[in-house]
A and B are shown apart, each in its own frame.
Chain A
Amino acid sequence: MLELRQVGKRFGNTEVLSEVNFRLGPGEIATLTGPSGCGKTTVLRLISGLEMLSQGEIHMEGRLVSCPQWGVPPHRRHIGCVFQEPRLWPHLTVRGNIEFALSGWTRNERLARLEKVAQWTGLTALLDRHPCGLSGGEARRVALARALAPRRRLVLMDEPLTNLDAASAQSLLDAVLQAWREEQFALLYVTHDPAEMQSLDARILTI
């Protein structure tokens, strides 16, 4: 599903990553962990195509998607992504934010899918609100719903539960696991919270 070979990244003269290697199979969950500033977020940005590689290669479903000086554009990689911050577009409602990811779907398909992800994430009553009217936990639910909505085979999550209270974090994690059980996407989950790693019960990759 996903393979990183000898991946490295430099920003100017600073080397932030070197020789990162791992594989993630279809439907597999892996947690990526390491100390603050070790480059976990950079790995996700390289996989999603928001940063160019300095060395190595990234393959998805057997296809080369990134090498130094070249990369498939992010929207052609067909991945879902939850960032550290919710990153919701303020001019769109919750519905608009989620539907943005459903390009090429018919209206009926979109409605059915929206209903499904809203049910997973408990957003059914909030679909017509704007992001400025959401709490921190609700905004994170929307970000999760947006990543899950387009039914991608690979989903990246970058510390999606940061700054949430224990109960909200657990319910959001339950939503992630429920969606994963039903759709079996590959999930690369960045965290340094041992409790989250335990709940996910997945292979642990350390940088």
Chain B
Amino acid sequence: MPGLSNALDRLLLIAAQAAAAILLGLPLLGLLLVFFNTEILSEGPAATILPLGYRPLGLLLRSAGFSIAVAVFASLAGGLIAWGAMGARRGVAILSLALPPLLIVPISIHGLNWATLILQLNDWGMRHRVPIQINGWAAACLAEVLAFLPLAIGVAWTSLALLDRKLLESAMIFRSPRAVVWRITAPMAGLVLAVGMGLIFLLSLSDYTVPSLFAVQVYALEIFSAYSASSHPAGAVLTALPMMLLICFSMVVILKAGFRSRLLFHASPAGSWPCRAAGWYSGSALTLLFLLLALPMVSLAAGAGTFPLFFHAIESARSELLVSLRVSLVTAVLALLLGIGVARGMMHGRATFLWWALVCLLFAMPAPLVAIGILQVANRAGAWTEPFLPVWACLARFLPVGAFICYAVFQRMDQGLLEAAHVFQRNRLHGALRVAFPLAWRGLFMAAAASLALALGELGASLLVAPPGESTLVIRLYNLLHYGASQEVASLGLALSLLALGAGLLLTALMHSQKKSSHA
């Protein structure tokens, strides 16, 4: 019954898009409502934090500089490690095994782990009178670079893995490997590397968790403080405006580069990686990759103490652990289902521009602002909304990420194959299930995994919206880090990392088994 199936497909799409529009649109509406309730220019506290003075602008510039440094160092190191690892004999296989588990550990957890390690190192230096002290901006920068390194390696690996190997081979006929790197590989992979660098810049700019551990004031923290200190949401919104403008401008640049980079990549690159790197270089890259995985784990395991202490710390955080798991799993499923609808809205139809604008705005919005928008709506709707707020906050922040990934997956699908399916399919559902889904499932799974990882590590919005008794594990971890309970911090950091690593390993095993069966 093609008519019924087509109607069902349309109904599901409209339902998904309507739900996404409500979940993404209401926080924005909530921020607008702020200005109807607050006389922002006449009230003292709000007026004093208008971002017009020298201090806020100076802080914004310092924060932008900090984030640029983090993005540049992380991307450079990530590119060098990915290049070296791919040049090893079994480098591609090693990367495809080691990277997904590393990537699924939330960036904030990586950051907290590395921050813990740096603090431990400082402590050790003090006790043994060794003049090693990494503090302030340098320590925050180092911790963030290391936290973003798996993402940077992932981006660099993707940019290289997507290159058409035949183009590299044909270059190798004419010129030396060095010339091939500089004239062919780097320019072709460069755009995606630049997009990755931009993404790291944005994520770093809107994060305050790691800098705050080293008593470094960044602009994102200023927004949080503006709301926490005065309870004036309008002040926080106005404080956030310059940063949002900066983020929106960066996003336009990044998206333009992303669209241009589509032309440079092959739909299905095949064959082995043709560029071999020197043995010492590949070895060093693989060692660094291993250290990236092992060093924080070893440090956390050492800090966690004995098994009973470790289990006691986990037992005492049991409710937070369960909340984190529930919130992140629900977010992952919804981000995928609604993300598919949003991605289709971004591709076709009359509202393409509106979908892009909505998704980009939400992605650009600092976490505390998302929370403020949600709270404004929830306060008007009533107490019944409270249990949903953590999931809503995660969705409002990470549904755009899911939608971006789904959009990229749909764009990369071979249109010829889909057209062939249109000719032969019984109805839309038949074509979608038998052809489109098998072609896209891997990417869609990635969208869910990315949303899960991000939701598992969400802090900025959860801190404001989590109702009493619904605190997440990351909130507990963050609070403990400030109180200095190092054993418990190490235990929870280790537990969360092991949890994410386990999920990552499962994901990797699933992907590999599917790859093998599809090859067979």
Residues of A within 8 A of B (CB): 48, 50, 73-75, 77, 79-81, 83, 85, 87-91, 100-101, 103, 132, 146, 150
Contacts and interface: CB of A to CB of B under 8 A. Distances in A.
B264 interface: yes
B183 A50 contact: no
Contacts of A50: 169, 172-173, 274
Contacts of A74: 169, 172-173
B426 interface: no
A80 B458 CA distance: 55
B467 interface: no
Contacts of B188: 89-91
A87 B167 contact: yes
B271 to A, nearest CB: 10
B264 A81 contact: no
B184 A89 contact: yes
Given A89-B167, A103-B179, A79 B184 contact: no
Contact of A73 (B164, B172, B263): B172
Given A83-B166, A100-B183, A90 B173 contact: no
Contacts of A87: 164, 166-167, 169-170
Contact of A90 (B166, B170, B179, B264): B264
By Cβ-Cβ distance, the 6 closest A-B pairs, closest first, are A87-B170, A101-B174, A74-B172, A91-B187, A74-B173, A81-B173
- DSSP majority for the A interface? loop
14 contacts: A50-B172, A50-B274, A73-B176, A75-B172, A75-B175, A79-B173, A81-B173, A87-B164, A90-B263, A90-B264, A91-B188, A100-B184, A101-B175, A132-B263
Contacts of A73: 172, 176-177
A73 B179 CA distance: 14
B171 A100 contact: yes
A81 B175 CA distance: 13
Contact of B174 (A88, A103, A132): A103
Most B-side CB within 10 Å, residue of A73, A74, A88, A146: A74
A85 B270 CA distance: 14
A91 B175 CA distance: 17
Interface string B121-149: 00000000000000000000000000000
Given A50-B172, A100-B175, 8 more contacts: A73-B172, A73-B176, A75-B177, A81-B173, A83-B166, A83-B170, A89-B188, A103-B179
A150 B171 CA distance: 13
B173 A89 contact: no
A73 B184 CA distance: 17
A161 to B, nearest CB: 18
A150 B179 CA distance: 16
A92 to B, nearest CB: 8
